[in-house]
Structure 1
């Protein structure tokens, strides 16, 4: 697909307005594509979002339930977390799977990379399929109060389609796995 090579936005100045160990927020004074002055805020994530969809030989997967502070609600999602910028995302995926579910996998396949909200943030997500599962002891972080459920993949697919699961990483992972299943690529 063809697209313009030059950025139509012009940055006049920028100011860091917030910074913590996980995010940085910058406000930009800009000239927008129509030539008018404006502002643009950018949230920079200091981690890569990592998602893991574990599948066993019977096509069961594992969902993690937890209360999401920002949404003020309980959510079910695939094992996910963050890996520091510059680190190996596969090692982060292995750590997250073990932390949240107690599972280790012998087969890993990267199935998807996506930006989670490209209008206000640069957050990148990398999603892996984990196979060859072995149960070990979970190692949750002290901020995590998790429930883990082993569920048939088709039930999780139904939950996504019914809108019962709304986490974007989980939705994307489940739909990608379903597509791979339909194309006989699993």
Structure 2
């Protein structure tokens, strides 16, 4: 791992939090409103969406260099989205255990090798949601009940890694975690951070 550059250690004046009130709460998120003082000294009212689970993302790549993608309709944008397998895991649970479960539930697959490759803050101006991404290889089909959530209707596709990456770069794949994970894996392959066999399969 490269040494952290000095500019990353710079710290400014933090926000100061005052009184807060809970506006909304359900099993997955809460919304709170905070009286706050900005780093500039200005007074502000800050709305914060807090997530009760970690966001988990899995990039499954098979021996042929194909990525397993999940297709589903997404409520907020009202459109169809092709994504890598994703889900939520309780914050007290081992993230890898949650990732294994999500991969099995959404794709009917298990992976022999797992590697954490990414941690992200998602939309950190309004939420405290944290994401952890795993590369999953050595894929095998397992006997499991996919589509465990009764609100989910999935389609599955295996596509060459470069085709998935190109679709993301062209704007056809817009899910942030999927784009970030594809770019991270591409960077790792180009920098020699993956096995030679996997790199050859991914980059052709």
Displacement of 1:4? 2.5
Within a 5 Å distance, the mapping from 1:8-157 to structure 2 comes to: 9-136=15-142, 137-140=144-147, 141-157=149-165
Equivalent pair of 1:82/1:92 in contact (CA under 8 Å): yes
Residue segments in structure 1 that go unaligned for 5+ positions in a row: none
CA RMSD, aligned part only? 1.2
1:161 maps onto 2:163 in alignment: no
The equivalent residue for 1:3 is: 10
The TM-score, its normalising length taken from structure 2, stands at 0.88
Q: For 2:193, what is the secondary structure of its paired residue? A: coil
Equivalent pair of 1:61/1:151 in contact (CA under 8 Å): yes
Residue segments in structure 2 that go unaligned for 5+ positions in a row: 1-6, 195-204
4+ residue stretches of structure 1 with deviation over 3 A?
none
The equivalent residue for 2:190 is: 182
Q: Partners in 2 of 1:112 and 1:33 — Cα distance?
A: 29
Displacement of 1:37? 1.6
Displacement of 1:132? 0.7
164-173 or 10-19: which moved more? 10-19
**How many residues are paired up?**
185
Q: For 2:125, what is the secondary structure of its paired residue? A: coil
Displacement of 1:80? 0.3
